[in-house]
Amino acid sequence: MKIKEYPGRINSLIIYILIFTYFEVIFKITAGCLWSWNLINNFLFIIAMALVCKFVTSLFSDKINKILMCLIIFIISLFYIVQIVMNNIFNFYFDFSLLGAFDQIVNFSKDSLKLIFNNSIYILIILVPVIFVAIFSRRIKTRQIPLPKILAFIPLSLGAYGLFLLSLNINKNDDYSAYNLFYNVHNNELSLKRLGVAHTMFIDLARYIDGYNTKVDFTILDNENESIEAGEEIPEEYDYNILDIDFDKLINESTGTIKKMHEYFKNNSGTMKNKYTDMFEGKNLILFMAESFNEMAVDKNLTPTLYKLVNSGFVFSNFYTPTISSTIGGEFQELTGLVASAGFLAPWKSGENSYPFGIANMFKKSGYNTFAYHNHTYTFQNRNIYLASLGFTNYLGCGNGLEKRINCNSWPESDIELIDSTVNDYINSDKPFFTYYVTVSGHGGYTWDGSEISLKNRDLVADLNYTENAKAYIASQIELDRALELLIQRLEESGKLDDTVIALVGDHYPYLLPKEDINSITKSSKDFEVEIDHSNFILWNSNMSTIKIDKVGSQIDVLPTIYNVFGLDYDSRLIVGKDILSTSPGLVIFGNGSWVSDYGTYFSAENKFVSKDGKVVPEGYVSKINEIVNNKIIISGLIMTENYYKYFKLF
């Protein structure tokens, strides 16, 4: 049947350019980065992409070309929908490495569907052009073009892409310029904002298929851990926390990336021991990764145990829990001391990598009994697999035995029940014990019908001047507080409290709590790039004095800090995070390349550095730290993708 012709039909090339530009503008508005030089390279890429689409939808009959056009525009629209909705829900963007965390979305499908529905306005805005093309497709020119004529679109597209490549030279030397993001640095969030959504997703897909083994590279610098603060003296009486590793031999036996990694670590002096080294030698350790725990949950009256633990023992006043890849990213950073960079997820979940510094391996080597528990599905995110690779051989969760002790059919499960049902496993251990807990009571959604734990503690927060969702969040954290109270009580009753250290860190801030609800708790408008992740690291023993630590730190510093205070033999050069108590300068790394140091804060999206009051910043400092941050992110990924630790047979 012949398709009816309409006068004044619009060329499909114009439609492609207009719609792809519309998508990009909507994304940039939601991302807060509309006005910048990058609009030039974004538009040039859009023209190149539109010409390719025009070529494809001119090869066939008018009817087939129209179907292909609708399909192409719909698929491209999904790129933008996914990025906008992901950022609005989780405060980070999608990249293909997160496909390995898809089970998290499925596992919490009820909450996910509700959150997607809450973002339906953005979905509808993006789908408007798709609907328009579907309805008015007959008014768009999509007739078949003879092959000799259609081939002209190929050089036109290549020419537009060539102009795009030339445009990357604008502000080329900026640390996170479009040029560097395209050629030298893998930073998904900044690439989305500066190279455009469609282009970034094509690049990220290629890097994902290649296992993130791209030409993106790191630089060997002279001792990254050395403090550059003028006049600081390194105490001579302490040795370095390093092992006797013959890097020269490793370098001579290696080639390519592995050889360069050996050279990188050889060039790093590591961190020094200090007056806190061996402070807890031989004591028991109970380490928590607390679901969605954040400093906003700490209240003297509502969560008195958390308040006591945060404000006594070691008090880390400048600690952060960067939100990277949700819960699994936070746990990875806490347990490995590495940044959760692109490519980490698949090797981490596989459990096939070697971890000579795996925390359970380390404590077992020192004569400890080790235990691990999680009060939700034991296989979630392959936790049973990656914990085993760290040395936990008796991990217990819902599905492999814990369901016989607690109610695993509620959502979320109770942290109080978790402690009550497991403490007797280790409290009378014939050796020192190390116990690792992954809690779940603090999980969102934070509504009275979305969390049985929040509903359980609803009356305790009824008088708070917060939004209802914020009250539900605090109610969920009360469960963690009461669980810690019970733990301390049981330790005291058994006479083990003075000989036990409690450590706790959150996996991420409660990103399922909308911004307005968070601000109702904090009574201020936090930035949602850096300060939203400001939190607490608990490192507490009942028999110690309060020690205040002002140096900045984050999840990746937890592991080496614990190893130092427990006097465990490890090599600080091979862990990206650093002992917070050492003389090494503090550095917090965020997924988008932003960072916090003891000098100030760098916001990568704005390419802006804000110094701390009274700090004189050395010349070239920001560029140097950007280089160090890039190194640490890339090295963390390479340690995982290259299974780098297999070269160190320490056990």
Q: What is the DSSP letter of 138?
A: G
Its domain, for residue 447, covers: 247-647
User: According to the model, what pLDDT value does residue 32 have?
Assistant: 84
Residue keyed to tokens 């538009």 = 43
Same domain, 270 and 194: no
Q: Is residue 465 part of a domain?
A: yes
CA dist 261 and 29 (Å) reads: 40
Give the global pTM. 0.91
Pairing of strands 319-320, 595-597: unpaired
Q: CB–CB of 535/289 below 8 Å? A: no
**Has residue 539 got a pLDDT over 50?**
yes
Q: Residue 445's pLDDT band (boundaries 50, 70, 90)?
A: confident
Same domain, 357 and 251: yes
Q: CB–CB of 359/335 below 8 Å? A: yes
Q: Is residue 110 part of a domain?
A: yes
User: According to the model, what pLDDT value does residue 229 have?
Assistant: 43
Q: Is 608 exposed, middle or buried (0-12, 13-18, 19+ CB in 10 A)?
A: exposed
**Has residue 280 got a pLDDT over 60?**
yes
Same domain, 203 and 330: no
On average, the pLDDT of the chain sits at 91
Same domain, 378 and 251: yes
Q: Give the residue with greater pLDDT, 229 vs 457.
A: 457
**Has residue 298 got a pLDDT over 90?**
yes
Q: What CATH number is associated with residue 367? A: 3.40.720.10
Same domain, 484 and 623: yes
Q: Residue 104's pLDDT band (boundaries 50, 70, 90)?
A: low
CA dist 574 and 424 (Å) reads: 36
Q: Residue 110's pLDDT band (boundaries 50, 70, 90)?
A: low
Number of separate domains in the chain = 2
Same domain, 455 and 563: yes
Q: Residue 111's pLDDT band (boundaries 50, 70, 90)?
A: low
Q: Is residue 360 part of a domain?
A: yes
Same domain, 264 and 164: no
Same domain, 169 and 273: no
- For 625-647, the pLDDT digits (tens) are 999 999 999 999 999 999 999 99
Structure tokens at 574: 């091979």
Q: Is residue 222 part of a domain?
A: no
Which of 286, 349, 624, 341 has its CA nearest to residue 486?
286
**Has residue 609 got a pLDDT over 70?**
yes
User: According to the model, what pLDDT value does residue 342 have?
Assistant: 82
CA dist 187 and 177 (Å) reads: 11
Q: Is residue 180 part of a domain?
A: yes
Q: Is residue 1 part of a domain?
A: no
> In this prediction, what percent of the chain has a pLDDT beyond 70?
93
Q: Please enumerate in sequence order all residues whose Cβ is within 8 A of that of 179, keeping only pairs 6 or more positions apart, or say none.
A: 168, 169, 171, 172
Please identify, among 152, 183, 209, the residue that sits at the C-terminal boundary of a domain.
Answer: 209
> In this prediction, what percent of the chain has a pLDDT beyond 90?
76
**Has residue 406 got a pLDDT over 50?**
yes
User: According to the model, what pLDDT value does residue 300 have?
Assistant: 97
CA dist 470 and 133 (Å) reads: 42
Please identify, among 187, 209, 231, the residue that sits at the C-terminal boundary of a domain.
Answer: 209
Q: CB–CB of 100/351 below 8 Å? A: no
Same domain, 171 and 267: no
**Has residue 525 got a pLDDT over 80?**
no
Same domain, 455 and 382: yes
User: According to the model, what pLDDT value does residue 7 have?
Assistant: 54
**Has residue 49 got a pLDDT over 70?**
yes
Structure tokens at 501: 């250290």
Rg (CA), the chain: 27
Q: Is residue 533 part of a domain?
A: yes
- Identify the three-state secondary structure at position 372: strand
| Mean pLDDT across 86-98 | 84
Same domain, 365 and 500: yes
Please identify, among 160, 180, 209, the residue that sits at the C-terminal boundary of a domain.
Answer: 209
Pairing of strands 284-290, 500-506: parallel
Same domain, 511 and 557: yes
Pairing of strands 595-597, 10-11: unpaired
Q: Is residue 575 part of a domain?
A: yes
